[in-house]
Amino acid sequence: MPFGHEDLNSYALVIGESLIDIVSRPGQDVSAAEHVGGSPCNVAVGLSRLGRQVEFATQFAADRHGEMIRSHLEASGVGTTFVSPAARTSTAKALLDENGAARYEFDIHWDIAAIATPHVPVLIHTGSIATFLEPGAEAVAATLAGASSVISFDPNVRPGLITNPARARERIDLFVSSADVVKASDEDLEWYAPGVPPEDVVRDWLSRGPSVVVVTKGKEGALGACRDGEVEIAPHKVDVIDTVGAGDAFMTGILDSLWSRDMLDGRLAAITCDELAGVLNDAAAVSALTVARAGADLPTRAARDAYVAARA
Protein backbone atom coordinates (compact mmCIF):
# COMPACT_ATOMS: atom_id res chain seq x y z
CA MET A 1 0.00 0.00 0.00
CA PRO A 2 1.53 3.39 -0.97
CA PHE A 3 2.11 5.94 1.74
CA GLY A 4 -0.83 8.29 1.98
CA HIS A 5 -3.34 9.53 4.52
CA GLU A 6 -6.17 12.02 4.47
CA ASP A 7 -4.46 13.90 7.31
CA LEU A 8 -0.70 13.57 6.97
CA ASN A 9 -0.17 15.42 10.24
CA SER A 10 -2.11 12.89 12.30
CA TYR A 11 -0.77 9.39 11.83
CA ALA A 12 1.26 6.94 13.89
CA LEU A 13 4.44 5.18 12.80
CA VAL A 14 4.91 1.80 14.47
CA ILE A 15 8.30 0.11 14.13
CA GLY A 16 8.99 -3.51 14.95
CA GLU A 17 8.65 -7.18 14.28
CA SER A 18 5.75 -9.00 12.70
CA LEU A 19 5.55 -12.77 12.88
CA ILE A 20 3.26 -15.76 13.00
CA ASP A 21 2.21 -17.00 16.44
CA ILE A 22 1.81 -20.78 16.27
CA VAL A 23 -0.40 -21.33 19.30
CA SER A 24 -0.52 -24.71 21.02
CA ARG A 25 -2.83 -25.52 23.91
CA PRO A 26 -2.41 -28.26 26.52
CA GLY A 27 -3.27 -31.64 24.98
CA GLN A 28 -3.46 -30.21 21.46
CA ASP A 29 -1.71 -31.98 18.61
CA VAL A 30 1.01 -30.41 16.47
CA SER A 31 -1.47 -28.83 14.06
CA ALA A 32 -1.64 -25.72 16.24
CA ALA A 33 -3.54 -22.57 15.31
CA GLU A 34 -1.63 -19.84 13.46
CA HIS A 35 -2.23 -16.15 14.17
CA VAL A 36 -0.48 -13.02 12.95
CA GLY A 37 1.43 -11.49 15.84
CA GLY A 38 4.50 -9.67 17.07
CA SER A 39 4.12 -7.01 19.74
CA PRO A 40 4.56 -3.92 17.49
CA CYS A 41 2.41 -5.55 14.81
CA ASN A 42 -0.40 -6.00 17.32
CA VAL A 43 -0.17 -2.34 18.34
CA ALA A 44 -0.23 -1.19 14.71
CA VAL A 45 -3.32 -3.29 13.98
CA GLY A 46 -4.96 -2.32 17.25
CA LEU A 47 -4.57 1.41 16.64
CA SER A 48 -5.85 1.08 13.08
CA ARG A 49 -8.90 -0.90 14.21
CA LEU A 50 -9.63 1.91 16.64
CA GLY A 51 -9.73 4.32 13.71
CA ARG A 52 -6.19 5.71 13.75
CA GLN A 53 -4.05 6.20 10.66
CA VAL A 54 -1.03 3.90 10.97
CA GLU A 55 2.12 3.15 8.98
CA PHE A 56 4.03 0.03 10.02
CA ALA A 57 7.78 -0.42 9.48
CA THR A 58 8.45 -4.14 9.68
CA GLN A 59 9.98 -7.14 7.92
CA PHE A 60 8.60 -10.34 6.44
CA ALA A 61 9.16 -12.61 3.45
CA ALA A 62 7.20 -13.29 0.27
CA ASP A 63 6.14 -16.70 1.59
CA ARG A 64 2.88 -18.15 2.91
CA HIS A 65 3.36 -16.68 6.37
CA GLY A 66 4.39 -13.33 4.93
CA GLU A 67 1.25 -13.19 2.84
CA MET A 68 -0.78 -13.94 5.97
CA ILE A 69 0.81 -10.90 7.62
CA ARG A 70 0.35 -8.62 4.62
CA SER A 71 -3.31 -9.60 4.25
CA HIS A 72 -3.89 -9.10 7.98
CA LEU A 73 -2.34 -5.62 7.93
CA GLU A 74 -4.19 -4.49 4.82
CA ALA A 75 -7.51 -5.88 6.09
CA SER A 76 -7.04 -3.79 9.22
CA GLY A 77 -6.11 -0.66 7.24
CA VAL A 78 -2.44 -0.56 8.28
CA GLY A 79 -0.05 1.07 5.80
CA THR A 80 2.73 -1.23 4.55
CA THR A 81 5.01 1.26 2.79
CA PHE A 82 8.01 0.46 5.01
CA VAL A 83 8.10 -3.35 4.79
CA SER A 84 11.63 -4.74 4.43
CA PRO A 85 12.14 -8.08 2.64
CA ALA A 86 13.31 -11.18 4.48
CA ALA A 87 14.52 -14.66 3.51
CA ARG A 88 11.74 -16.18 5.62
CA THR A 89 8.97 -14.86 7.80
CA SER A 90 9.59 -15.03 11.53
CA THR A 91 7.55 -17.32 13.78
CA ALA A 92 6.89 -17.73 17.50
CA LYS A 93 5.59 -20.94 19.02
CA ALA A 94 3.24 -19.87 21.80
CA LEU A 95 2.80 -22.69 24.30
CA LEU A 96 -0.24 -22.03 26.50
CA ASP A 97 -0.68 -23.36 30.02
CA GLU A 98 -4.00 -24.33 31.60
CA ASN A 99 -4.68 -20.67 32.50
CA GLY A 100 -4.10 -19.40 28.96
CA ALA A 101 -0.72 -17.83 29.74
CA ALA A 102 1.82 -18.13 26.93
CA ARG A 103 5.47 -19.19 26.79
CA TYR A 104 7.27 -18.45 23.52
CA GLU A 105 9.91 -20.12 21.35
CA PHE A 106 11.13 -17.83 18.53
CA ASP A 107 12.54 -18.28 15.06
CA ILE A 108 13.19 -14.66 14.14
CA HIS A 109 15.51 -12.45 12.11
CA TRP A 110 15.39 -8.64 12.38
CA ASP A 111 17.28 -6.48 9.88
CA ILE A 112 15.83 -3.18 8.65
CA ALA A 113 17.23 0.20 7.66
CA ALA A 114 16.54 3.47 9.49
CA ILE A 115 13.14 4.89 8.53
CA ALA A 116 12.87 8.25 6.77
CA THR A 117 9.21 9.29 6.51
CA PRO A 118 7.98 11.98 4.09
CA HIS A 119 5.77 13.44 6.83
CA VAL A 120 6.32 13.70 10.59
CA PRO A 121 4.08 11.30 12.53
CA VAL A 122 2.27 12.50 15.62
CA LEU A 123 3.37 9.31 17.35
CA ILE A 124 6.19 6.76 16.96
CA HIS A 125 5.79 3.48 18.81
CA THR A 126 8.34 0.70 19.13
CA GLY A 127 9.45 -1.99 21.51
CA SER A 128 9.97 -5.68 22.10
CA ILE A 129 12.38 -7.73 20.00
CA ALA A 130 12.91 -4.89 17.51
CA THR A 131 14.72 -2.80 20.10
CA PHE A 132 17.38 -5.30 21.16
CA LEU A 133 17.85 -7.87 18.37
CA GLU A 134 20.71 -6.98 16.05
CA PRO A 135 21.21 -5.71 13.46
CA GLY A 136 17.79 -4.07 13.20
CA ALA A 137 17.86 -2.63 16.71
CA GLU A 138 20.47 -0.09 15.63
CA ALA A 139 18.16 1.15 12.87
CA VAL A 140 15.29 1.55 15.31
CA ALA A 141 17.46 3.62 17.67
CA ALA A 142 18.67 5.75 14.74
CA THR A 143 15.09 6.42 13.62
CA LEU A 144 14.11 7.65 17.07
CA ALA A 145 17.21 9.79 17.59
CA GLY A 146 16.16 13.40 17.30
CA ALA A 147 12.54 12.57 16.41
CA SER A 148 10.09 15.36 17.18
CA SER A 149 7.11 13.00 17.50
CA VAL A 150 5.73 11.65 20.77
CA ILE A 151 7.58 8.37 21.35
CA SER A 152 6.18 5.33 23.13
CA PHE A 153 8.09 2.23 24.16
CA ASP A 154 7.18 -1.22 25.49
CA PRO A 155 10.23 -3.40 26.28
CA ASN A 156 8.13 -6.59 26.22
CA VAL A 157 11.21 -8.58 27.23
CA ARG A 158 11.82 -11.98 25.58
CA PRO A 159 14.55 -13.57 27.74
CA GLY A 160 14.94 -16.57 25.44
CA LEU A 161 16.26 -14.30 22.68
CA ILE A 162 18.62 -12.26 24.87
CA THR A 163 22.22 -13.48 24.72
CA ASN A 164 23.71 -10.40 26.40
CA PRO A 165 21.48 -9.29 29.31
CA ALA A 166 23.70 -6.34 30.25
CA ARG A 167 23.53 -4.97 26.71
CA ALA A 168 19.76 -5.53 26.59
CA ARG A 169 19.33 -3.56 29.82
CA GLU A 170 21.43 -0.75 28.37
CA ARG A 171 19.14 -0.66 25.36
CA ILE A 172 16.07 -0.55 27.57
CA ASP A 173 17.60 2.37 29.45
CA LEU A 174 18.28 4.15 26.13
CA PHE A 175 14.73 3.75 24.89
CA VAL A 176 13.18 4.66 28.26
CA SER A 177 15.18 7.90 28.28
CA SER A 178 14.08 8.66 24.71
CA ALA A 179 10.39 7.94 25.28
CA ASP A 180 7.45 10.03 26.40
CA VAL A 181 5.26 7.02 27.26
CA VAL A 182 6.59 3.71 28.61
CA LYS A 183 4.56 0.59 29.36
CA ALA A 184 5.99 -2.63 30.80
CA SER A 185 4.70 -5.72 32.56
CA ASP A 186 5.67 -6.78 36.06
CA GLU A 187 7.45 -9.75 34.43
CA ASP A 188 9.51 -7.33 32.31
CA LEU A 189 10.54 -5.42 35.40
CA GLU A 190 11.42 -8.57 37.33
CA TRP A 191 13.81 -9.52 34.50
CA TYR A 192 15.19 -5.98 34.23
CA ALA A 193 15.71 -5.48 37.99
CA PRO A 194 15.33 -8.79 39.86
CA GLY A 195 13.97 -8.38 43.38
CA VAL A 196 13.29 -4.65 43.00
CA PRO A 197 9.63 -3.68 43.61
CA PRO A 198 7.93 -2.65 40.34
CA GLU A 199 6.95 0.68 41.91
CA ASP A 200 10.61 1.55 42.44
CA VAL A 201 11.48 0.80 38.81
CA VAL A 202 8.52 2.88 37.63
CA ARG A 203 9.67 5.85 39.71
CA ASP A 204 13.24 5.48 38.48
CA TRP A 205 12.14 5.37 34.85
CA LEU A 206 9.87 8.38 35.32
CA SER A 207 12.86 10.36 36.61
CA ARG A 208 14.70 9.67 33.34
CA GLY A 209 12.39 11.74 31.16
CA PRO A 210 9.09 10.04 30.23
CA SER A 211 5.84 11.82 31.04
CA VAL A 212 3.98 8.56 31.70
CA VAL A 213 5.23 5.18 32.92
CA VAL A 214 2.84 2.25 33.35
CA VAL A 215 3.35 -1.27 34.68
CA THR A 216 0.70 -3.93 34.14
CA LYS A 217 0.37 -6.52 36.90
CA GLY A 218 -1.96 -9.15 35.47
CA LYS A 219 -4.74 -10.02 37.89
CA GLU A 220 -3.63 -7.16 40.14
CA GLY A 221 -4.42 -4.47 37.58
CA ALA A 222 -2.01 -1.72 36.63
CA LEU A 223 0.02 1.11 38.13
CA GLY A 224 0.63 4.38 36.31
CA ALA A 225 2.92 7.24 37.24
CA CYS A 226 3.22 10.80 35.98
CA ARG A 227 4.60 14.03 37.37
CA ASP A 228 1.32 14.61 39.22
CA GLY A 229 1.61 11.33 41.14
CA GLU A 230 0.66 7.66 40.90
CA VAL A 231 -2.61 5.83 40.28
CA GLU A 232 -3.66 2.18 40.38
CA ILE A 233 -6.59 0.49 38.69
CA ALA A 234 -8.19 -2.90 39.16
CA PRO A 235 -8.36 -5.30 36.21
CA HIS A 236 -11.55 -5.75 34.23
CA LYS A 237 -12.99 -9.20 34.96
CA VAL A 238 -13.65 -11.30 31.87
CA ASP A 239 -13.51 -14.96 30.92
CA VAL A 240 -9.96 -15.37 29.62
CA ILE A 241 -9.44 -17.47 26.49
CA ASP A 242 -5.72 -16.72 26.36
CA THR A 243 -3.38 -13.86 27.20
CA VAL A 244 -1.70 -13.62 23.78
CA GLY A 245 -1.53 -9.91 22.93
CA ALA A 246 -2.88 -8.73 26.29
CA GLY A 247 0.00 -6.33 26.95
CA ASP A 248 -0.02 -5.07 23.37
CA ALA A 249 -3.74 -4.37 23.68
CA PHE A 250 -3.11 -2.42 26.89
CA MET A 251 -0.40 -0.41 25.12
CA THR A 252 -2.78 0.24 22.24
CA GLY A 253 -5.46 1.42 24.65
CA ILE A 254 -3.05 3.81 26.37
CA LEU A 255 -1.99 5.41 23.10
CA ASP A 256 -5.52 5.66 21.73
CA SER A 257 -6.80 7.22 24.96
CA LEU A 258 -3.98 9.79 25.03
CA TRP A 259 -4.74 10.57 21.39
CA SER A 260 -8.45 11.01 22.12
CA ARG A 261 -7.59 13.35 24.99
CA ASP A 262 -5.41 15.53 22.69
CA MET A 263 -2.32 14.72 24.73
CA LEU A 264 -0.02 13.97 21.81
CA ASP A 265 0.42 17.63 20.94
CA GLY A 266 2.60 18.87 23.81
CA ARG A 267 0.19 18.56 26.75
CA LEU A 268 1.36 15.10 27.80
CA ALA A 269 3.87 16.40 30.36
CA ALA A 270 1.02 18.05 32.28
CA ILE A 271 -1.23 14.97 32.52
CA THR A 272 -2.97 14.68 35.90
CA CYS A 273 -3.57 11.60 38.01
CA ASP A 274 -7.30 11.76 37.26
CA GLU A 275 -6.60 11.85 33.54
CA LEU A 276 -4.10 9.03 33.84
CA ALA A 277 -6.62 6.88 35.70
CA GLY A 278 -9.03 7.39 32.81
CA VAL A 279 -6.33 6.42 30.33
CA LEU A 280 -5.55 3.22 32.24
CA ASN A 281 -9.19 2.22 32.41
CA ASP A 282 -9.55 2.81 28.67
CA ALA A 283 -6.51 0.59 28.15
CA ALA A 284 -7.93 -2.11 30.42
CA ALA A 285 -11.07 -2.21 28.29
CA VAL A 286 -9.07 -2.89 25.11
CA SER A 287 -7.03 -5.56 26.88
CA ALA A 288 -10.09 -7.24 28.40
CA LEU A 289 -11.72 -7.58 24.99
CA THR A 290 -8.53 -9.09 23.59
CA VAL A 291 -7.99 -11.79 26.23
CA ALA A 292 -11.62 -12.86 25.84
CA ARG A 293 -10.81 -14.01 22.29
CA ALA A 294 -8.25 -16.45 20.91
CA GLY A 295 -4.97 -15.00 19.68
CA ALA A 296 -4.04 -11.33 19.55
CA ASP A 297 -7.42 -10.29 18.10
CA LEU A 298 -7.67 -6.64 19.14
CA PRO A 299 -11.09 -4.95 19.05
CA THR A 300 -12.55 -2.39 16.69
CA ARG A 301 -13.71 1.01 17.90
CA ALA A 302 -17.33 -0.16 17.74
CA ALA A 303 -16.60 -3.25 19.87
CA ARG A 304 -14.62 -1.21 22.37
CA ASP A 305 -17.35 1.44 22.67
CA ALA A 306 -20.06 -1.21 23.09
CA TYR A 307 -18.07 -2.87 25.85
CA VAL A 308 -17.56 0.43 27.70
CA ALA A 309 -21.25 1.30 27.35
CA ALA A 310 -22.27 -2.09 28.71
CA ARG A 311 -20.01 -1.69 31.75
CA ALA A 312 -21.44 1.77 32.40
Q: Is the dihedral of CA 119, 86, 132, 221 positive or negative?
A: positive
Could you tell me if residue 171 is inside a domain? no
How far are the Cα atoms of 26, 181, 183, 234 from residue 283, in angstroms, in the given order?
A: 29, 13, 11, 12
pLDDT recorded at residue 78? 97
pLDDT recorded at residue 177? 96
Residues 156 and 241 in one domain: no
Residues 259 and 217 in one domain: yes
Residues 241 and 288: their CA atoms lie apart, in Å, by: 10
Residues 229 and 203: their CA atoms lie apart, in Å, by: 10
Domain around 135: 10-164
Could you tell me if residue 261 is inside a domain? yes
Could you tell me if residue 5 is inside a domain? no
Strand order in the sheet with 102-107: 33-37, 19-24, 91-96, 102-107
Residues 200 and 278 in one domain: yes
CATH number at residue 145: 3.40.1190.20
Last residue of a domain, one of 105, 138, 164: 164
Residues 287 and 233: their CA atoms lie apart, in Å, by: 13
Could you tell me if residue 1 is inside a domain? no
Residues 16 and 155 in one domain: yes
Last residue of a domain, one of 164, 196, 220: 164
Could you tell me if residue 3 is inside a domain? no
Residue 92's contacts (CB-CB under 8 Å, 6 or more residues apart) are 19, 20, 21, 22, 37, 38, 104, 105, 106, 107, 108
pLDDT recorded at residue 70? 97
Could you tell me if residue 4 is inside a domain? no
pLDDT recorded at residue 1? 40
pLDDT recorded at residue 24? 75
pLDDT digits (tens, 9 = 90+) for 97-127: 766 666 778 899 999 988 988 889 999 999 9
Q: What residues in the chain have per-residue pLDDT under 70?
A: 1-9, 25-32, 98-102
pTM over 0.85: yes
Nearest Cα to Cα of residue 276 among 202, 222, 236, 238: 222
